[in-house]
């Protein structure tokens, strides 16, 4: 009489399924490890490329500075002098944390302005710099224009502004002759803005009203094109 084989068949099927599941888990694990290593080397390569860049140097060396000389020390009864005495070693900074290279700028002293100013406005036409209004103190604002001449390093040609014109935070632009003054803050003590606008003819030193802005504004950024 033949014995039933159902139990053996079920056990073999179970082992086959478990084996397939184990192989699938191993394959997924290997895939995850491969993907992680690829991302790591990719980010490392990008980091190296970014650090190197196309610039000729990725480091900035600060110049040597003089330091007070140190007293000589003795070695085996003899006095030994330090070869680097009085010189501070160079420091190397990573370009990541250093400022970008820039040309060295040289400053020259100009003639002192006729009055101190805060939050005034200025604009240049050829060799002349027109300086407008501004705070003298929190309780006092200037209502005139001073002119600086770059050629002879002098101030002169002072003239008044319109009484209705703002005294600070002015928007300003020029076409080479006319200076357009738009709104700004009127009066001292940080008062509110005005909508009034004016134009100055720099050849005649005469002012004219322009249409006011729809709403008052502080310090407009203007550009004549």
CATH of the domain at 184: 2.40.10
Q: Is the pLDDT of residue 43 over 90?
A: no
Q: Are residues 134 and 92 in the same domain?
A: no
**Strand order through the sheet with 193-201:** 171-174, 178-185, 193-201, 206-210
Residue 188 lies in a domain: yes
pLDDT score recorded for residue 44: 46
Q: Are residues 142 and 197 in the same domain?
A: yes
Question: What mean pLDDT comes out for the span 63-86?
Answer: 54
Residue 38 lies in a domain: no
Alpha-carbon distance 143 to 140, whole Å? 10
Residue 172's domain comprises 121-210
Q: Which residue, chain included where needed, has tokens 């134009």?
A: 199
Alpha-carbon distance 63 to 148, whole Å? 38
Q: Are residues 127 and 79 in the same domain?
A: no
Handedness of CA 91, 97, 101, 107 (dihedral sign): negative
Residue 140 lies in a domain: yes
Alpha-carbon distance 83 to 114, whole Å? 55
Question: What mean pLDDT comes out for the span 110-122?
Answer: 95
Range of weakest confidence among 44-53, 74-83, 157-166: 44-53
Residue 52 lies in a domain: no
Q: Which residue, chain included where needed, has tokens 């004219």?
A: 208
Does residue 153 or residue 99 have the better pLDDT?
Answer: 153
197 class by beta-carbon count within 10 Å (0-12 exposed, 13-18 middle, 19+ buried): buried
Residue 43 lies in a domain: no
162 class by beta-carbon count within 10 Å (0-12 exposed, 13-18 middle, 19+ buried): middle
Which residues, including other chains, have CB under 8 Å from residue 79's CB and lie 6 or more apart?
72, 73
Q: Are residues 144 and 190 in the same domain?
A: yes
Q: Are residues 170 and 137 in the same domain?
A: yes
Residue 102 lies in a domain: no
> Taking the complete model, does pTM exceed 0.85, yes or no?
no
Residue 25 lies in a domain: no
Residue 82 lies in a domain: yes
Q: Is the pLDDT of residue 118 over 80?
A: yes
Query: Closest Cα partner for 57 from 27, 94, 30, 82?
Result: 94
- Please state the domain count of the chain: 2
């Amino acid at each position: 009489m033949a014995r039933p084989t159902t139990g053996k068949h079920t056990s073999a099927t179970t082992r086959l399924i478990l084996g397939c599941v184990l192989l699938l888990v191993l394959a997924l694990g290997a895939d995850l490890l491969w993907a992680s290593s690829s991302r790591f080397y990719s980010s490392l390569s990008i980091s190296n490329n970014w650090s190197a860049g196309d610039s000729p140097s990725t480091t900035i060396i600060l110049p040597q500075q003089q330091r007070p000389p140190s007293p000589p020390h003795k070695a085996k009864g003899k006095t030994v002098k330090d070869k680097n005495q009085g010189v501070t070693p160079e420091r190397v900074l990573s370009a990541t944390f250093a400022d970008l290279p820039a040309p060295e700028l040289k400053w020259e002293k100009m003639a002192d302005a006729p009055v101190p100013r805060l939050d005034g406005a200025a604009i240049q036409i050829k060799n002349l710099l027109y300086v407008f209004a501004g705070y003298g103190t929190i309780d006092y604002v200037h209502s005139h224009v001073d002119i600086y001449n770059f050629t002879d390093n002098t101030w002169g040609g002072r003239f008044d502004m319109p009484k209705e014109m703002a005294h600070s935070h002015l928007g300003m632009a020029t076409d080479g002759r006319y200076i357009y003054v738009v709104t700004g803050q009127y009066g001292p003590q940080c008062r509110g803005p005005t909508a009034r606008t004016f134009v100055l003819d720099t050849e005649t030193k005469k002012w004219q009203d322009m249409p006011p802005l729809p709403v008052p504004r502080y310090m407009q950024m203007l550009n004549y094109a």
